[in-house]
Structure 1
Amino acid sequence: MTTSETATEGQDHTAAIGPDRTVAVVGTGTMGQGIAQVALVAGHPVRLYDSAPGRAAEAVAALTARLDRLVEKGRLDAAAREAAVGRLHAAEDPAELADASLVIEAIVEDLSVKQRLFADLEKIVGDDTVLATNTSSLSVTAIAGGLRLPGRFVGLHFFNPAPLLPLVEVVSGFATDQDVATRAYATVKGWGKTPVRCADTPGFIVNRVARPFYAEALRVYEEGAADPATIDAALRECGGFRMGPFELTDLIGQDVNEAVTRSVWDSFFQDPKFTPSLAQRRLVESGRLGRKSGHGWFSYAEGAERPEPHTAAPANAPEWITVWGDLGPAEPLVGLFEAAGITVLHKKGGGHIELPSGAELSLADGETSFEYAEEAIVYFDLAYDYAAASRIVLSTREDLDPAALAEAVGLFQALGKKVSVIGDVPGMIVARTVAMLADVAADAVDRGVATAEDVDTAMRLGVNYPAGPMEWAGRVGYRHTCGLLRELHARYANGRYAPGLGLVRRAAAEDAEDSR
């Protein structure tokens, strides 16, 4: 039996902290109350503590009201509500947490404040009590650094709102005992959550791997290739993401999102793959923080109209096209064209579509149209699912013959798609974003941060990606993904797009498999 099999067998409810044992939550803000609700509904006695006098009692009242609303909506029966309220108590003094089997902290993101809290708690609770932090950005290892028993300390990073979102990152610090991490994993799994194991690294899984989703959109915007509404629409309607990065950062708060990006960048010694955006910095400096300030990338003032994405005017579809070779990740388009009544001629080699005008239509590969001044080239973006996508994004140089561009627009409109035409930017929008997500994810996996399965699970459940980046890159092809990054690196030679060894190895393995 392998070590991984043994670890998997240990991840069951037999190792969980029993529901008869007390769970204490320190910090009674939105996250603290949410975590307390999860533990309470799972059957635990719960004690809430806050250093501010009266806050714990207020939180108990607020949680009771939440339970009442669940009863009204039919999500909790009255008897369960009564039992839960009977198990919920406010603690006015930390000493009242002495018999807790698990203490979860959800206070301000300040390292010294957290360190002092746990140093005090360690004097109160028993040596077998599991201590956990809900930090999203600080080092679990550093928080536990001064403890007498750092092995019983673990990160439990819930996502907001905790009662609704299933993901919990179970973070092992440098000194965390394996059995403590396993017990914490089993406990939150018993609460109905989906835990993933993670090593203590800047941003853990989600906040580390997600950086390119925001960064590449900001880079395309900074280069003047497209406006925020169009970039959002491309990633939503073509890429299959739940929200675009501009509307999402407006929801999160521009200051919060930028602070996380800067924290990860600094923690990785200013690695260019995580470089923050000057455009976002200026937005924060201007006070445009998003929904909470009434204005971010978009205005949220009463009556304000949301900018529409650029959408091309209707154009006539060509009656026929020639498909040269295999289109790789875009091969599903061939069947869609045929189903739309367009005659498709097939020729060997090339890997692109030829339009009647002679213009070439190619999947984004990291190159640009202006580099082929003697040829008419239009690039189209990667889609998560070409059949389901409601929008296709095209990119070409400004001086392309309008008739050739109209052919390309009409071709995709014949499939019932909206079409956006953006500037001649390498890698376009979805393709470069997915490639960078895959690169950062593969690096995390190969450095032992988490398994590929846990990375994909975290990104699907934590930030609602249509697929995990490892799964998506495998489906697109590591060779294609690695090749696109190499082309980007040739055009932005600052190291940001240089494919990591993890991606290079996988591309080489794919080559070897294909040559057999």
Structure 2
Amino acid sequence: MSANTPVQGSDAVSADEAGAGGIGPGGVVAVVGTGTMGQGIAQVALVAGHPVRLYDSAPGRAEQAVAGVAGRLDRLVEKGRLGKDERDAAVARLHAAGALDELADAALVVEAIVEQLPVKQRLFADLEQVVAADALLATNTSSLSVTAIAGGLAHPGRFVGLHFFNPAPLLPLVEVVSGFATDPAAATRAYETAKSWGKTPVRCTDTPGFIVNRVARPFYAEALRIYEEGAADPATIDAALRESGGFRMGPFELTDLIGQDVNEAVTRSVWESFYQDPKFTPSLAQRRLVESGRLGRKSGHGWFSYADGAERPEPHTAPPAEAPASIVVRGDLGPAKPLLELFEQAGITVRRRSGSGYVALPGGGRLHLADGETGFEFPDDDVVYFDLALDYAQAGRIVLSAGTRTSRETLEEAVGLFQALGKQVSVIGDVPGMIVARTVAMLADLAADAVERGVASAEDVDTAMRLGVNYPLGPLEWAGRIGHARVRNLLSNLHERYPTGRYAPSLALARRGYDEEAADGAADAEETA
């Protein structure tokens, strides 16, 4: 049995005792901690119809939080999202608690206090002496072990993680985390409660980072690595992932928004929790940024300046170039196949021939989809790589990678080819895997590995990444579109060039790739027969 597998504790609340559904609308919900997250969770529970108690150990904070939540509800009324009668009824159900024993009638207590393990452990030990035996105890921690927080409790079976995302009233995702001793019925009860509040809950076991903060690491890490290698600047990397990859924000602007210190601390925490696994290695460049005090928007400067009048750096964009009149496509371009129709629509003659999957340009150069190799490895060939796109028809930018042996003629033909489709083109250094392809491959690898290890189901992983961090596709769905074998091969190529273990494809991804190849082989054999 995996150490992350929820087990039935001998003293846990049974399914019959806990009930199969969530906390009923009349059940009292207590929130301990009255910061932004605590107030947001209280608002969600209030709007769902629960009486809510707010408690904070700092004198006067709970009363301030009650006023703060009421103010939030007033703004919802002003925007027409909540009726005045509903607002008045909700405020009447909201009370400040002056002491923990005033939470005795709570059916659910959610903690949202400082991220310090001893503090949380003391709080829940005290709560256990106050609330009823069938009350659920939940932590909103994003970085600490749910198992460790519950480790000293007499009844850890009723303890779960309920990880909301900020702002809690707006973001739909809730990670329902089962610790080592969490009773399955308690997790189900927490799941159903979150669902009844209009949230989209996902189940996961107690692993560092849970789903989102575990699987999302490569989105930041690969961008930082590419920057550290001098292949592209932050503005160009951000533009590639937004305009070609379909992500809402690029990693540099997003970490400036989150706070460089916060993002780096989460990365470091996950890395250390996985015993310094190279797949999670933090960035020295980001560490230096934090040490310099450039924390992002909140400090006025991070990767970009936020001073009044400061201009945001523009991504590198290639000047206009003439498009070739015709190209030869040799073999299957895989996920880039939709480009063929786009080229033809742009008036470029496309001739199809057998081959290993590339575009032959008129001047003798070759155009390859990013596969984890580099141009300098083809001493007798003139090669340009192009990056993966979520949707080549919708992409506003295409990224090309030129090596030291790439001729000016080949590069200009490649630039002109994509400009003919109405795309902006960015040319970066000869970096293996480029930007989007490398990032998506690593996200898919960590996602597949998480599923294989029983952290969460494939469906829940994809749901969590779409709703928790607004990815355009879940990483496993994306890998399925690209082809698991292709993703595996890209990572294998990266691993050959960076033999640290960071890019070694997980067994889970390797299995998916081999299963895919076997299925394709069987289908081809049947068609031939």
TM-score (norm: length of structure 2): 0.95
Structure 1 unmatched ranges of 5 or more? 1-9
2:512 to 488, 506, 509: 506
1:140 is the counterpart of 2:141: no
Determine the structure 2 residue equivalent to 1:362. 368
Where do residues 457-496 of structure 1 align in structure 2 (5 Å cutoff)?
Answer: 457-496=463-502
3-state DSSP class of the match of 1:25? Answer: strand
1:249 is the counterpart of 2:280: no
1:262 is the counterpart of 2:262: no
In structure 1, what is the Cα distance between the partners aligned to 2:291 and 2:425? Answer: 34
Deviation at 1:404, TM superposition (A): 1.2
In structure 2, what is the Cα distance between the partners aligned to 1:92 and 1:177? Answer: 31
Deviation at 1:396, TM superposition (A): 1.3
- Contact 2:388 2:437 survives alignment (8 Å): yes
1:172 is the counterpart of 2:178: yes
3-state DSSP class of the match of 1:101? Answer: strand
In structure 1, what is the Cα distance between the partners aligned to 2:459 and 2:405? Answer: 45
Where do residues 118-157 of structure 1 align in structure 2 (5 Å cutoff)?
Answer: 118-157=124-163
1:429 is the counterpart of 2:435: yes
1:20 is the counterpart of 2:13: no
Deviations 1:298-334 (A, max 9, x none): 0000100000000000111110000001101110100
- Contact 2:32 2:38 survives alignment (8 Å): yes
1:383 is the counterpart of 2:389: yes
1:447 is the counterpart of 2:453: yes
- Contact 2:163 2:176 survives alignment (8 Å): yes
- Contact 2:20 2:188 survives alignment (8 Å): no
3-state DSSP class of the match of 2:487? Answer: helix
1:59 is the counterpart of 2:59: no
Structure 2 unmatched ranges of 5 or more? 1-15, 523-529
2:332 to 313, 317, 326: 326
3-state DSSP class of the match of 2:312? Answer: coil
Determine the structure 1 residue equivalent to 2:79. 73
Where do residues 266-345 of structure 1 align in structure 2 (5 Å cutoff)?
Answer: 266-345=272-351
- Contact 1:130 1:152 survives alignment (8 Å): yes
1:93 is the counterpart of 2:79: no
Determine the structure 1 residue equivalent to 2:109. 103
Q: Tell me the amino acid that sits aligned with residue 164 of structure 1.
A: L
Q: Tell me the amino acid that sits aligned with residue 210 of structure 1.
A: A
In structure 1, what is the Cα distance between the partners aligned to 2:71 and 2:473? Answer: 36
Q: Tell me the amino acid that sits aligned with residue 312 of structure 2.
A: R
Deviations 1:202-225 (A, max 9, x none): 000000000000000000000000
In structure 2, what is the Cα distance between the partners aligned to 1:408 and 1:351? Answer: 16
Determine the structure 2 residue equivalent to 1:401. 407
In structure 1, what is the Cα distance between the partners aligned to 2:119 and 2:473? Answer: 37
- Contact 1:20 1:45 survives alignment (8 Å): yes
In structure 1, what is the Cα distance between the partners aligned to 2:277 and 2:405? Answer: 37
Which 10-residue stretch deviates more, 110-119 or 399-408? 399-408
The alignment covers a number of residue pairs equal to 505
Deviation at 1:189, TM superposition (A): 0.2
- The percentage of aligned residue pairs carrying the same residue is 77
In structure 2, what is the Cα distance between the partners aligned to 1:397 and 1:179? Answer: 57
In structure 2, what is the Cα distance between the partners aligned to 1:396 and 1:503? Answer: 29
Deviation at 1:14, TM superposition (A): 6.3
Deviation at 1:349, TM superposition (A): 1.5
- Contact 2:29 2:108 survives alignment (8 Å): yes
Determine the structure 2 residue equivalent to 1:41. 47
3-state DSSP class of the match of 1:15? Answer: coil
1:209 is the counterpart of 2:212: no
Deviations 1:119-171 (A, max 9, x none): 00000101100000000000000000000100000000000000000000000
Deviation at 1:374, TM superposition (A): 1.7
In structure 2, what is the Cα distance between the partners aligned to 1:401 and 1:187? Answer: 61
Deviation at 1:350, TM superposition (A): 1.8
Q: Tell me the amino acid that sits aligned with residue 506 of structure 2.
A: G
In structure 1, what is the Cα distance between the partners aligned to 2:407 and 2:180? Answer: 60
1:117 is the counterpart of 2:143: no
Deviations 1:79-133 (A, max 9, x none): 0001001000000111100000000000000000000000000001011000000
Q: Tell me the amino acid that sits aligned with residue 332 of structure 2.
A: D
Deviation at 1:401, TM superposition (A): 1.6
Determine the structure 1 residue equivalent to 2:187. 181
In structure 1, what is the Cα distance between the partners aligned to 2:209 and 2:414? Answer: 41
Deviations 1:211-248 (A, max 9, x none): 00000000000000000000000000000011000000
Q: Tell me the amino acid that sits aligned with residue 393 of structure 2.
A: A
- Contact 2:375 2:405 survives alignment (8 Å): no
Deviations 1:1-23 (A, max 9, x none): xxxxxxxxx9xx96011010100
In structure 1, what is the Cα distance between the partners aligned to 2:407 and 2:128? Answer: 72
- Contact 1:238 1:383 survives alignment (8 Å): yes
In structure 2, what is the Cα distance between the partners aligned to 1:350 and 1:491? Answer: 22
Deviations 1:181-220 (A, max 9, x none): 0000000000000000000000000000000000000000
In structure 1, what is the Cα distance between the partners aligned to 2:370 and 2:406? Answer: 17
In structure 2, what is the Cα distance between the partners aligned to 1:219 and 1:32? Answer: 35
3-state DSSP class of the match of 2:75? Answer: helix
Q: Tell me the amino acid that sits aligned with residue 248 of structure 1.
A: L
In structure 1, what is the Cα distance between the partners aligned to 2:356 and 2:146? Answer: 51
In structure 2, what is the Cα distance between the partners aligned to 1:65 and 1:203? Answer: 33
- Contact 2:77 2:84 survives alignment (8 Å): yes
In structure 1, what is the Cα distance between the partners aligned to 2:238 and 2:274? Answer: 28
Deviation at 1:454, TM superposition (A): 0.2
Q: Tell me the amino acid that sits aligned with residue 340 of structure 1.
A: A
- Contact 2:382 2:405 survives alignment (8 Å): no
TM-score (norm: length of structure 1): 0.97
Runs of 4+ in 1 over 2 A off after TM superposition: none
Deviation at 1:373, TM superposition (A): 2.0
- Contact 1:370 1:396 survives alignment (8 Å): no
